[in-house]
Amino acid sequence: MTIRNLECLFKPRSIAVISRGKRTDLDAAVEFNLIEGGFKGPVMPVNPDLQSISGVLAYKDIASLPVVPDLAILTTSLEEAPALIGELGALGTKGRYC
Q: How do residues 37-57 score in pLDDT, each as one tens digit? A: 888 899 999 999 888 877 788
Q: Is 98 a residue whose pLDDT tops 50?
A: no
Topology (CATH) of 3-97: Rossmann fold (3.40.50)
Q: Is 67 a residue whose pLDDT tops 90?
A: yes
Distance (Å, whole) CA 41 – CA 31: 13
Distance (Å, whole) CA 7 – CA 28: 25
Contact yes or no for 93/69 (Cβ under 8 A):
yes
> How much is the average pLDDT of 56-84?
92
In the chain, count H helices and then E strands.
3, 6
Contact yes or no for 20/48 (Cβ under 8 A):
yes
pLDDT at 29: 80
Residue 30, Cβ density class (10 Å: 0-12 exposed, 13-18 middle, ≥19 buried): buried
Contact yes or no for 47/53 (Cβ under 8 A):
yes
Per-domain boundaries in the chain: 3-97
Please indicate whether residue 94 or residue 62 has the higher confidence score (pLDDT). Answer: 62
Q: Is 31 a residue whose pLDDT tops 60?
A: yes
